[in-house]
Structure 1
Amino acid sequence: MVSVTHTDGGLAQRLAQDWARRIEHGLLLPGARLPSVREGAKLQGVSPSTLVAAYDRLQAQGLVEARHKRGFFVREQRGPVARPATAPAATVTAPYDSLTLMRSLMNSEATPSPAHGTLPMEWLDAALIRRALREATGPGHDALLLRYGDPQGDVELREALAHRLADVGVHASPAQVLTTVGATHALDLIAHTLAEPGDAVLVDDPGWPIEYARLAQAGLRLLPVPRTAQGPDLAVLARLAQQHRPRLYVTVSVLHNPTGQSLSLAQAHEVLRATEAAGPGRCWVVEDDTYAGFAPPHLPRLSALDGLRRTLYVTGYAKVLGAGLRVGCVAGPSEAIERLCARKMVQQLASSPITERALALLLQRGGLRRHTERLNERLEGARTRCRRLAEQAGCAFSGPPAGLFGWLDTGVDSERLAQALALDGFRTAPECLFHPDRRGGTHMRVNFVGAQAPAFWRALSARRQELA
């Protein structure tokens, strides 16, 4: 660190450039609060006036904004989200520019990071996918290359998916399955087909910020349901369902993102019962099982308990196979699948028959199953190491580590901690990112595989002590 006692124009410029690079690379997301002048000057080893000069330069570039008596914040570049003038107080909108967040995550995917939502490339098996694609495009399969696919999805894939869903207790015929371009596409179809602008929708809090943004951009009113280690707050869930009569409850029942928590059988029954307060047939329960590949099949699914009467089951395969093979699906009642298929046709006619047939082959021949088993064996080791490193750093996970993510209790303001760790070059995901109202807390989401470097935990331990 360089220590100065007066305003140094050259140093202020260099500091501004450093902050600008962090913003550009996504280490600082829109809406993030920069360190206070006193704290930032201490972290950087400069005088407060030099840091203020650096912040002024960032403000002049339109990268940050000063908020009266609150400090400096990374500027948000987003337009207003349409919503009714009579929206209730519980309504919230997307906490920041979702496109900026998505670009940041995609641009940084090649670098291991505790903040990532995916496995590193070296854990995946590109050769496995190449073999399936070669077979799907080999002799006798010209139609897959030259014609539109079935709008509802490749029939062989839908049959394979129906068998796969039965493994987790979700029983659906191939006619009750619609293929999509990943789980994200399925969730988007549901938001725009089964709800209208102005409708209320229940969401997990904390939860996945991109889902908040997607629903808000569809003009829906977000009603946060507090999520704890014991699952959703059932009293709040029932009260919101009765008061606001929501059209959807979008939730993760198994390996919840970001907490990693899974519902027990009793909790799952109570969640279904609580949503009935919205009225008969009023509220669709949308079960996002994106991380199914990392979960034991015996864990209860809401869709299995409900029998796909008023539930929609969504899953995808990007997390275990790789993001390039964008195939997912939604299963539900036939009438809902027909409506979703009609919207899919209007949007893009059909999804890729080549990638769908490749996934069908991976399911039929057992390639996906064997690959997933190998991943989970490695992931168990990564979780064990991560738990030990966290304990050595003076932190603890809020529940037994499971799946890909852990909800780490740092014991300090995790947004301030993330700001400090950014100075050390570490991208982290503080708790505020996962709340619709962007409130802070002491937790951060940790990717078990991306957080294997002891240097990260040493930096976290040192920064925690500075902030304590």
Structure 2
Amino acid sequence: PAPSDAPARMAAPVNAAALIRGMFHPPGSQPQPGMGAFPPDWMASTFMQAAVRRVTTPQALADNSLRYGEPLGDGQLRRVLATRLQSLGLHAEPGQIITTVGATHALDIVSRTLLKPGDSVMVEEPGWAVEFARLDAMGMRILPVPRGPAGPDLAVMARYCEAHAPKLFVSVSVLHNPTGHSLSPASAHRVLQLAQQHGFYVVEDDTYGHIAPEHATRMSVLDGLQRTFYVSGFAKILAPNWRVGYVVAPTDWVDRLLDTKLLTTLTTPSLLERALAHCIEQGQLLRHAERIRARLDEARSRSVKLAQAAGCRFVSEPAGLFGWVDTGVDTEALAQRMLDEGYLIAPGSLFHAARAPSTLMRINFATTQDAAFWKVFRRLAVR
């Protein structure tokens, strides 16, 4: 074909990988409603640079750059994490903590260790599109469990247990993505009863725990890490490119998880882990998270008013970073129209295991405070 000066037309996200590519290559310079993270200026700080300088003295740089780190992860970070988890009520020894290349890597390690192709895995629906895609690529049988305000549909879980003997249940207990729901104590207790009765394990993704309300219910705390694996990280709240995450495991599973980590990544970068340990130990991460929460509360209030004024209806109570809204139009078709105007949105079909047309859309409260976006939305959301 003849060369053209016209820019290539970007395609709207139709799967998890496409949405992630859109995050790395946004269609415009304006805030992007479909993003899954805080804007970079929200996370900017000076204490992270100071922590890096602290751990990169000439001697420390030589000691930590010329040999592999500890297989489990930096010992100081694991000790600091164990202390931090105590404040959540989760009692774990440093030897039960394995650092990873972000929380996604932690989820991958658990899946690769516990599962084999063809195994059944229960996932929340709507849920994290990347988790659906990752499990599907590994050859797992995905069993979607409807997620409500209090937690997963327990009747559906019980039927799956009887019919398919699932090996694992993946859950975002606190500030669920995309609905913002948090698990109730009663629902958490019943899920753990089912796990004990039917022999499956629970992996609890607490990615949004840094902005969670106090005393939020976590299954790992109630279970005492008997049939639960706790996963979290710091990309969402502090340093996306440091790629530091971790998994806390039942003692009997630590060696097997560690083998999987060594076979996939060998060890993780100890310099950044040591710098992160300093940020946590000095209370800087806690103060940073408090500032983020306060700013997010204000942003959420503004975004909700703008969304409702644009004709959207919230299908779940606004909470956390994300809003789950009904637009009244097919959001997959809307996604392409919005992308042509420079806005990346996250259509509802991406958050279901079996993609189907949907009028729902996930919005990021931190990036939907701009009235200009909602003006374009109203113009293009033709019913």
In which range does the TM-score fall when normalised by the shorter chain?
over 0.9
Instruction: Give the letter for the 1:440 counterpart.
Output: P
Aligned equivalent of 1:120, options 18, 24, 39: 39
* CA positional deviation for 1:229: 2.8
SS in structure 2 opposite 1:427?
Answer: coil
Equivalent residue runs for 1:82-231 within 5 Å: 96=15, 98-108=16-26, 111-138=30-57, 140-141=59-60, 142-231=62-151
Partner secondary structure for residue 354 of structure 1? helix
The structure-2 alpha-carbon separation of the partners of 1:262 and 1:211, relative to structure 1 and needing over 3 Å to count, comes to: same
The answer for the alignment partner of 1:463 in structure 2 is: 380
Q: Deviations over 1:245-268 (max 9, x none)?
A: 111111111111111111111121
Which residue of 1 is the match for residue 217 of structure 2?
300
| Cα 1:348/1:424, change in 2 over 3 Å | closer
Q: Distance in 1 between matches of 2:252 and 2:64?
A: 28
- Counterpart CA distance in 2 for 1:374 and 1:347 is 36
TM-score (normalised: structure 2) = 0.94
1:347 Cα shift?
2.0
Match of 2:88, SS?
A: coil
Corresponding residue number in structure 2 for 1:327: 244
Aligned to 1:361: 278
1:275 alignment partner, SS class: helix
* Deviation per residue, 1:141-172 (Å, 9 max, x gap): 23222221110011110011111112222111
Unaligned 5+ segments in structure 2 are none
Matched residue type, 2:77: L
TM-score, normalising length from structure 1? Answer: 0.77
C-alpha distance in structure 2 between counterparts of 1:153 and 1:425, whole Å: 41
AA paired with 2:131? E
Q: Which runs of 4+ in 1 moved over 6 A?
A: none
Distance 1:292 1:213 in 2: 23
- Which string of whole-angstrom CA distances, capped at 9 and with x for unpartnered residues, describes residues 331-357 of structure 1? 011121211111111222210110110
The match for 1:34 is: none
Match for 1:356: what amino acid? E
Q: Tell me the SS of whatever aligns to 1:452.
A: coil
Q: CA deviation at 1:126?
A: 4.7
Per-residue Cα deviation, 1:201-234 (whole angstroms, up to 9, x for no partner) = 1111111111111111112111111112342111
Give the residue type in structure 2 aligned to 1:376.
R
Report SS of the residue matched to 1:166.
helix
Instruction: State percent identity of aligned pairs.
Output: 47
- Residue of structure 2 aligned with 1:434, choices 334, 351, 355: 351
1:337-383 deviation digits (Å, cap 9, x = unpaired): 21111111122221011011011001111111111111111111100
Q: Describe the shift of the 1:138–1:111 C-alpha distance in structure 2 as closer, same or farther (beyond 3 A).
A: farther
Alpha carbons 2:22, 2:344 under 8 Å: kept? no
Shift of 1:400: 2.6
SS where residue 241 of structure 2 aligns? coil
**What RMSD, in angstroms, separates the aligned Cα atoms of the two structures?**
2.0
Alignment partner of 2:13 out of 29, 32, 49? 29
Report if the CA contact (8 A) 1:137-1:145 is conserved: no
Larger Rg: 1
Distance 1:423 1:147, change over 3 A: closer
State which of 358, 365, 381 in structure 2 corresponds to 1:448: 365
Q: 1:371 aligns with which of 288, 302, 310?
A: 288
Code of the residue aligned with 1:123 in structure 2: it is W
Structure 1: distance between partners of 2:93 and 2:18: 39
Structure 1 unaligned runs (5+)? 1-12, 31-95
Secondary structure of the residue aligned to 2:116 is coil
SS at match of 2:230: strand
- Report what 2:298 is aligned to: 381
Shift of 1:140: 4.6
More contact order relative to length (CA 8 Å, sep ≥ 6):
2
Structure 2 Cα separation of the partners of residues 242 and 106 of structure 1: 42
Q: How many residues align?
A: 379
Distance 2:300 2:82 in 1: 31
The amino acid of 1:208's aligned partner reads W
Specify the SS of the correspondent of 1:337: helix
State the secondary structure of the residue aligned to 1:203.
Answer: strand
- Residue 115 of structure 1: SS of its match in structure 2? coil
Q: Is the 8 A contact 2:98 2:248 kept in 1?
A: yes
Match of 1:196, SS?
Answer: coil
- 1:442 Cα offset (Å): 2.2
- Whole-angstrom distance in 2 between the partners of 1:440 and 1:172: 43
Give the 3-state SS of the residue equivalent to 2:217 in structure 1: coil
> Match of 2:290, SS?
helix
